[in-house]
Amino acid sequence: MVMLDTAVSAVLSNKRRANALKALGVVTLQDALTYYPFRVTDPVPIRHLREAKLDQSMAFGATVRAIRIMPMAQRRGHRLEVIIEDISDSSTASLIFFSYKKYFVDWMSTRLKVGTDIVVQGSPTYYNDRLQFTHPEIQVVGEDCANLESGLASVSRPRPIYHANSRISSQHIHETILGILRMLASHEAIDSLQTKDPEEGPLAVIPVEELTAKIPDILPDTIIEGNALLHRAQAFLSIHEPDSVPAFKAALATLRFEEAFVSQTALLRTKSDAKLTPALPCIGEQSDAFVQEFIASLPFELTNGQREVMTDIRDDMAHPYPMQRLLQGEVGSGKTIVSIAAMLRAVGADQQAVLVAPTQILAEQHYQTLKRMLSQNADESGSTSADTPLSSIPVVLLTGGMRLAERRKALAVASSGKPCMVVATHAAFSKTFQAPNLGLVVIDEQHRFGVEQRNVLRNKSEHAPHLLVMTATPIPRTAALTWFGDLDLSWLTELPGGRKPIRTTVIEESNASMMAKMFVHVRQRVDAGERAYIVCPRIDEENSDADAAQGPSSPTSKDSQRHSQRSEDDLGFDDFDEFTVADADDEASSQALPPLHSVTTIASRLAGLPQFAGLRITTLTGRDDDETKTRVMQDFSSGKAPIIVATTVVEVGMDVPQATCIVVFDADRFGLSQLHQLRGRVGRGGKQSWAFFVSRAQPESIAAQRLDVIRDSTDGAEIAQADMELRGAGDVLGDAQSGGQSSLKLLRVITDAKIIAQARSQAEELLESDPQLTHQVQLAGAVLDFMRGNERFLTST
């Protein structure tokens, strides 16, 4: 029995086409039906020949009056000319076909016999004062008027266009999907439907009633009716074979809302299921005392935002089920202070807390910050000479680059179950790390870790630990709602007092005068005892910086690949703005971009500049070993090497208060959120700071527009929103968190914010009355499929 999970190869005898579809990710019939067109052509008007307009597509009925086959004089092949007469008057025109294959023109001449009625669709031109159509679409019909009318309706209706490649065209994808729909409706073999002789007339209209049994609705009837949506079978028909543009849009709206509803239901189910997992509450007088003492010891006042988030975390950690909270904050907004307070609550409740950082440099900085802020005088064994409660808390560092003896000592403290704070890198995910009394896990820079890694930490303890996920990467609220909807969300938007706005300047690299002034300014700040970062996207000229954290790739890479996979059928039609995803850069497909600057080249060039004479310049890349990284950062922080040329390894965790200048080469090739992160490396010591973004972007290009955004704004959410609008959600969040590799195919974070909010609200109402979806079998299955297909991207299990 053929079902939606049946393999395409099992029903399609054309194995070459089946393999081509498989390369596009179309394996099952469900995959085929959800391989949606990315746009649809405008309807073709039906006109008489006397109404023809030059180069404007039209459709009309005609009768064949004469045929001539002639060899081409200048090149091998044949020319077929068919003289036709408009079926309603005496207007005539020529249909021209060229082919070097004789059997093609013979086959066409056999089809187009004199006296045959046909339907023609194409764009007219003039040659030797005669109206002609070159390689038009032809459909042969009988003398019956109904056949002619249906033929005209068929060729004039909007045509869906699909992403294709060199192995299969958009037209063949369309034919296969229609064949699948007809097979599901009629139970006939797909190949017999596809090979139907056109002279027998067009294929019958697909009966939607027959499809409903094979394509049941996923959404409840109340949701469908309340939102004026189509039934699922009708939506598939209308998006793959639309009668009109409004029908296509209606199908698009239905399937888009379906994706929103299923994804939000899955996130809400995940969030509610987490409350069924037991966790140890982190409450008590000692927890409160630790936090109050810590706050009182700070040399500054907390912002209102920090106080509000700390209160939310206190309430979350008091529950007998695990906290799941995402804390998003501007660079330098004080997330570390909030995380320390949360860790103190866990330790005050006689539990352990782990803070996981993506790099050793960041882990070591967190470790030093904790020891300094807690006035730590104790060694890792727990002995102390201090007389304050905070100083009695053991703080342990665990990294992959530690000496074996130090590593074993740190592991022993954690495995003992004694209340402590552990600061770790990916070493926390190893089997040797055990924390049987783990009460809190803090993940810093969440986008650097996978969900599987977070779940490894959850299994380190007998009870599920509370989870606090932090990120300084700006994420628009609509994106956070979509992709972190199973977490409680908190935002820190205020900056601590004393911080001065960073002055941002975009400099064209070809402007030698401005470049010289920039380097003079950097030297002046260094002479004043300050530090400067110089950031490049590559390590050297031969290899891209694969080891550096999140270095930029050419903005052409994804888009050129996307364009290369399109056939001629995909080009030349007007997009629907609401459906088409914008390319990353408008110049990407039209010209080759210059090679990226490298750390080795820029360091060498700077060393030769008179502005930097007598200064020591050091370098830092992802290829450097841990010992080298530590030494370089010590030299930079101390001022021995006041200028550091680095890749984007400095993007997170670099806390050098003396750093006041940052120069980013090839800034036009970075995402805005990443530039915002890099800009946050300076200005942390309260001094006036500067960010210089060196660009080779063409004026008025999208890359130049993006740099204008970050030059004029320091609001991370605003910058992230603009970045997604200009580059697309895939480039900002990563394909995995924008639909590129997940189950979402139509939903767009930016344009569909209202749909997402509406779907979430209605999903909440449904789950309140039916938490386990007992009465919604189809929806429950779709939610399960979504969770399985997106388990790498969901924050919770």
Q: Give the domain CATH number at 449.
A: 3.40.50.300
Dmax (CA) of the chain = 108
Torsion region of 353: left, alpha or beta (phi above 0 gives left; psi -120 to 50 gives alpha)? beta
Regarding whether 342 and 435 lie in a shared domain, the answer is: yes
Tell me if 460 sits within 8 A of 435, measured CB to CB: yes
Those residues with Cβ within 8 angstroms of residue 473's Cβ, 6 or more apart along the chain or in another chain: 328, 445, 447, 673, 677, 720
What is the reported pLDDT for 201?
Answer: 35
Regarding whether 179 and 137 lie in a shared domain, the answer is: no
Does 353 score more than 60 pLDDT?
yes
Regarding whether 77 and 199 lie in a shared domain, the answer is: no
Does 572 score more than 70 pLDDT?
no
What is the reported pLDDT for 110?
Answer: 87
Which tokens belong to 375?
């006035």
Residue 37 covered by a domain: yes
Residue 124 covered by a domain: yes
777-794 residues labelled b (16+ CB within 10 A) or e (exposed): eebbebbeebbeebeebb
Written as one string, the DSSP assignment of 565-593 is T--GGGSSSPPPTTTPPPPS-TTTTTSPP
CA distances in angstroms from 430 to 439, 558, 625, listed in the order given: 18, 34, 20
Q: Which of 672, 702, 732 is the last residue of a domain?
A: 702
Residue 738 covered by a domain: no
Regarding whether 190 and 83 lie in a shared domain, the answer is: no
Helix (H) or strand (E) holding 155: helix 145-156
Those residues with Cβ within 8 angstroms of residue 367's Cβ, 6 or more apart along the chain or in another chain: 395, 397, 423
Q: Mean pLDDT, to the nearest integer, of 459-487?
A: 75
CA distances in angstroms from 182 to 19, 35, 236, 740, listed in the order given: 21, 16, 12, 29
Residue 659 covered by a domain: yes
Report helix angle 777-789 to 245-274, nearest 10. 80
Phi, psi dihedrals of residue 289, rounded to the nearest 5°: -65, -40
Structural domain total, the chain = 4
Q: Which of 173, 191, 215 is the last residue of a domain?
A: 215
Does 290 score more than 60 pLDDT?
yes
What is the 8-class DSSP label of residue 294?
H
Regarding whether 679 and 644 lie in a shared domain, the answer is: yes
Those residues with Cβ within 8 angstroms of residue 762's Cβ, 6 or more apart along the chain or in another chain: 223, 226, 227, 261
- How many degrees, rounded to 5, is the angle at CA 702 between CA 754 and CA 724? 25
Which tokens belong to 148?
């002619």
Regarding whether 126 and 31 lie in a shared domain, the answer is: no
Regarding whether 168 and 142 lie in a shared domain, the answer is: no
What is the reported pLDDT for 338?
Answer: 94
**Number of Cβ within a 10 Å radius of residue 51:** 13
pTM of the model: 0.65
Residue 453 covered by a domain: yes
Regarding whether 141 and 22 lie in a shared domain, the answer is: no
Which tokens belong to 658?
């003396």
Regarding whether 111 and 80 lie in a shared domain, the answer is: yes
Among 361, 370, 358, CA closest to 396 = 370
Partners of 466 in the β-ladder: 440
Q: Mean pLDDT, to the nearest integer, of 77-84?
A: 92
- How many degrees, rounded to 5, is the angle at CA 734 between CA 360 and CA 600? 50
What is the reported pLDDT for 534?
Answer: 96
Residue 306 covered by a domain: yes
Among 54, 61, 251, 297, CA closest to 158 = 251
Residue 620 covered by a domain: yes
Q: Mean pLDDT, to the nearest integer, of 460-473?
A: 82
Tell me if 322 sits within 8 A of 277, measured CB to CB: yes
Among 677, 670, 687, CA closest to 654 = 677
Q: Mean pLDDT, to the nearest integer, of 216-226?
A: 95
Regarding whether 61 and 94 lie in a shared domain, the answer is: yes
Residue 235 covered by a domain: no
Does 260 score more than 60 pLDDT?
yes
Among 217, 221, 78, 242, CA closest to 160 = 242
Distance (Å, rounded) from C-alpha 462 to C-alpha 439? 10
What is the 8-class DSSP label of residue 393?
S
Helix (H) or strand (E) holding 365: helix 360-373
% of the chain residues with pLDDT over 70? 80
What is the 8-class DSSP label of residue 428?
G
Q: Mean pLDDT, to the nearest integer, of 82-95?
A: 91
Q: Mean pLDDT, to the nearest integer, of 755-780?
A: 93
Q: What is the pLDDT of residues 622-670, one digit of tens each?
A: 888 878 888 998 899 999 999 999 998 887 667 788 999 999 999 998 8
Q: Give the domain CATH number at 78.
A: 2.40.50.140
Q: Mean pLDDT, to the nearest integer, of 179-201?
A: 61
Distance (Å, rounded) from C-alpha 358 to C-alpha 679? 19
Residue found by looking up tokens 């939102």 in the block: 227
Residue 454 or residue 216, greater confidence: 216
Domain that holds residue 195: 8-41+163-215
Those residues with Cβ within 8 angstroms of residue 357's Cβ, 6 or more apart along the chain or in another chain: 363, 366, 423, 424, 425, 444, 445, 653
Helix (H) or strand (E) holding 660: strand 659-664
Does 124 score more than 90 pLDDT?
yes
Partners of 532 in the β-ladder: 643, 661
pLDDT band of residue 691 (cuts 50, 70, 90) is very high
What is the 8-class DSSP label of residue 668?
G
Does 200 score more than 70 pLDDT?
no
Regarding whether 307 and 201 lie in a shared domain, the answer is: no
Regarding whether 386 and 289 lie in a shared domain, the answer is: yes
Q: Which of 199, 215, 231 is the last residue of a domain?
A: 215
Q: What is the pLDDT of residues 338-351, one digit of tens each?
A: 999 999 999 999 99
- How many degrees, rounded to 5, is the angle at CA 394 between CA 392 and CA 396? 160
